[in-house]
């Protein structure tokens, strides 16, 4: 049901291009225009991002450049934990390089806010986000900029739809021994959040039981998609909907499974660093992220739209019909490092 044929793809692509052009040309509101003028004097903005995958992050950067000529977006894409590591290295060295920081591990923002390392700013466009995303932080130190859905995927030529697991609990069944692939919470923020959620939901020995099934461990949440494409492992655990749909659109035999317990939702913010070298460009970028421009650009590559006025991507189940599971940001700040350490002791890596 999630595989779409070539003609639909082409029609969709044509429509999407037209739509995102329209968004790129949409008139700027007053605050945006003011920021744009100030940002032009700064010339660029550096974006550390672990939220969107490489293709989508690059597309977002290009869309920003197209909408705001004269301000260039430097896209520094990696997994979220690695992006945070870079930020920590910057801080340790006393060097300010990052303007806007985007991570799938919401706990990062609680920490950064507590350490007074964020700038308070509310983009006007935030009022137009999906209702659940409108207020990420009552003090406005960070704003929602990403909604990622993490679920299970399978290679349909290796495991049929009938045999595939149906729930998160199913993947612990010994019959999936040597069949699973999963990312690493030490690299991927989303995998950290996912592991935490699973541990809360399925019990404290979740990681040990997962390990008993000998999953192939990658780094990002996208690595299992590669493993499914290749036929190395038939089941991808905690893959993002968008990377799986993107791979499927390229001709790989993949299908999404919406686990019966619900999907793990990474509702993730972005924030401006207090020492951002380009503060106005950073604010402009926050307007861009919360505005229709970003959603229009990334939905073409199967990412969820975070605004009601931009339709969701083709092939994914509407958010209103899914159960979304997620730990709170405070739980994530405390729990993710802990679950990461536990993971390393159990998996040895």
Partner 1 sequence: MSASTDTATLAGSQRPSRLRLLEPITILWVALIAALLVLVALPLLKMFVISFEEQDTGVFTIQNYLTAYGRQRYLDAVRNSLLLGTLSAAISVVLAVPMAWAVSRTDMPGKGFTWAIVLAAFIMPPYLGAIGWVLLAGPNSGWINVVWRSLTGATDPLVNVYTFTGMAFVIALHSFPLVFIFVKSALDLISSEMEDAANILGGGTWVTMRKVTLPLVWPSILGGFILIFLETIALFGTPAIIGIPARINVVTTQLWQFFEDPVRVEVASAFAMPLLLVTIGLIAVQKLLLARKGFVSQTGKGGERRQVKLGPWRWVLFGWCVLVALLSVVKPLMVLLQASFAKAWGRGFSFDNLTLRNYQFLLFEHDMAPQAVWNTVWFSATSATIAVVLALLVAYIVVRRLIRFADALGFLAMAPFVIPGIVMAIGFYAAYAGPPLSLYGSALLIILAFASRFLPIAYASSQAAIRAVHPEMEEAARILGSGRLHAIRKVTAPLLKTSLLGGWLVVFIVASRELSAAIFLVGPRTRTMSVLLYDLTEQGNFEVVSAFGGILLVITMAIVGIGMKLVGRDFMLRRE
Contact residues for partner 1, defined by CB under 8 A: 46, 48, 53-55, 58, 61-62, 73-79, 81-82, 84-95, 97-98, 111, 184, 186-187, 216-220, 222-223, 225-227, 229-233, 243, 247, 250-252, 344-345, 347-349
Shortest spacing between CB 203 and partner 1, in angstroms: 23
Shortest spacing between CB 216 and partner 1, in angstroms: 5
231, 158 contact by CB (below 8 A)? yes
Q: How many CA atoms lie within 13 A of 334 on its CB side?
A: 4
Other beta carbons less than 10 A from residue 337's beta carbon: 18
Nearest to 106 by CA among 270, 298, 319: 270
Tell me the C-alpha to C-alpha distance, in Å, between residue 227 and each of 4, 51, 223, 339, 341: 21, 21, 6, 24, 25
Other beta carbons less than 10 A from residue 234's beta carbon: 21
Q: Select 224 or 262, whichever has its Cβ closest to partner 1.
A: 224
Q: Select 98 or 267, whichever has its Cβ closest to partner 1.
A: 98
Give the ranges where the chain is alpha helix by DSSP (H).
6-25, 30-42, 54-67, 80-93, 107-114, 189-202, 206-212, 223-230, 241-249, 279-290, 292-299, 329-347
99, 47 contact by CB (below 8 A)? yes
Q: Within the chain, how many helices (H) and strands (E) appear?
A: 12, 11
Shortest spacing between CB 207 and partner 1, in angstroms: 13
Q: Select 91 or 200, whichever has its Cβ closest to partner 1.
A: 91
190, 238 contact by CB (below 8 A)? yes
Shortest spacing between CB 241 and partner 1, in angstroms: 13
Shortest spacing between CB 268 and partner 1, in angstroms: 17
Nearest to 223 by CA among 247, 195, 196: 247
Q: Select 53 or 280, whichever has its Cβ closest to partner 1.
A: 53
Shortest spacing between CB 337 and partner 1, in angstroms: 8
Q: Select 233 or 255, whichever has its Cβ closest to partner 1.
A: 233
Tokens representing residue 46 in the block = 């550096």
Q: Select 64 or 307, whichever has its Cβ closest to partner 1.
A: 64
Shortest spacing between CB 54 and partner 1, in angstroms: 4
Tell me the C-alpha to C-alpha distance, in Å, between residue 242 and each of 11, 79, 98, 295: 19, 15, 26, 13
Q: Select 105 or 143, whichever has its Cβ closest to partner 1.
A: 105
Q: Select 62 or 122, whichever has its Cβ closest to partner 1.
A: 62
| Residues in the chain, total | 349
Shortest spacing between CB 124 and partner 1, in angstroms: 26
């Amino acid at each position: 049901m999630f595989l779409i044929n070539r003609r639909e793809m082409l029609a969709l692509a044509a429509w999407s291009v037209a739509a995102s052009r329209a968004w790129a040309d949409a008139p700027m509101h007053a605050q945006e225009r003011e920021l744009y003028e100030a940002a032009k004097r700064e010339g660029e903005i550096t974006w550390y991002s672990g939220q969107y995958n490489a293709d989508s992050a690059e597309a977002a950067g290009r869309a920003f450049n197209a909408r705001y000529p004269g301000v260039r977006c430097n896209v520094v894409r990696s997994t979220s934990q690695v992006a945070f590591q870079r930020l920590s290295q910057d801080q340790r060295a006393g060097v300010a390089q990052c303007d806007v920081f985007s991570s799938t591990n919401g706990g990062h923002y609680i920490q950064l806010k507590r350490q007074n390392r964020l700038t308070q700013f509310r983009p006007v466009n935030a009022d137009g986000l999906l209702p659940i995303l409108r207020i990420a932080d009552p003090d406005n130190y960070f704003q929602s900029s990403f909604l990622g859905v993490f679920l299970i995927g399978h290679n349909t030529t290796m495991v049929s739809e009938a045999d595939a697991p149906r729930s998160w609990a199913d993947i612990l069944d010994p019959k999936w021994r040597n069949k699973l692939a999963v990312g690493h919470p030490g690299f991927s923020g989303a995998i950290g959040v996912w592991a935490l959620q699973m541990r809360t939901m399925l019990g404290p020995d979740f990681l040990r039981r997962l390990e008993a099934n000998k999953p192939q461990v990658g780094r990002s949440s996208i690595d299992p998609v590669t493993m499914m494409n290749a036929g190395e492992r038939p089941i991808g655990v905690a893959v993002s909907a968008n990377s799986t749909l993107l791979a499927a659109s390229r001709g790989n035999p993949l299908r999404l499974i919406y686990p019966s317990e619900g999907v793990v939702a990474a509702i993730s913010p972005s924030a401006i660093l207090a020492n951002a070298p380009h503060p106005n460009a950073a604010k402009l970028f926050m307007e861009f992220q919360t505005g229709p421009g970003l959603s229009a650009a990334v939905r073409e590559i199967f990412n969820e739209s975070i605004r009601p006025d931009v339709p969701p991507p083709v092939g994914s189940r509407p958010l209103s019909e899914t159960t979304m599971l997620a730990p709170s940001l405070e739980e994530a700040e405390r729990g993710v490092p802990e679950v990461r350490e536990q993971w390393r002791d159990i998996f040895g890596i």
